[in-house]
Amino acid sequence: MRFFVHLLAIWLVVASAARAADTNAIVVLDAKDAKIEQPPDGKAKYETLPNRLCIGFWYSTNVVARWSLAVPAKSAYRVFVVVACPRGMEGAKIEVVIAGQKAAGII
């Protein structure tokens, strides 16, 4: 089965171990800032239409969106991934890796 997914953004809620829990920081990794890595036949790209603004045409599990950021080393993270997909295409697996730690889910 082929999945069609639009990645809009990834939100990280960072709670530093050195700070109180009520001083959480929110880091938004916007789709427009991602570096897209894919095989030569890959079609994923950032869509710039005003009603899109996402990484679209993501048809392959060989496509990776990467962001670089610096966060405190000793932190707890809550990860929220904002995606959209056409009805009937639910079920795609998604994985977020931060400093070697993985969080996975299903769209």
Give me the tens of pLDDT residue by residue for the chain, a chain 107 residues long: 344 555 665 665 655 554 445 556 777 888 889 999 999 998 999 989 888 888 888 878 788 888 888 776 667 777 888 888 777 777 877 888 877 778 888 88
Phi first, then psi: give them for residue 64, nearest 5 degrees.
Answer: -130, 135
Q: How far apart are CA 104 and CA 69, in angstroms?
A: 20
DSSP code, position 34: P
DSSP code, position 43: -
Q: How far apart are CA 100 and CA 88, in angstroms?
A: 32
What pTM, to 2 d.p., does this model score? 0.72
Q: How far apart are CA 74 and CA 55, in angstroms?
A: 30
85 in Cβ contact with 4 (< 8 Å): yes
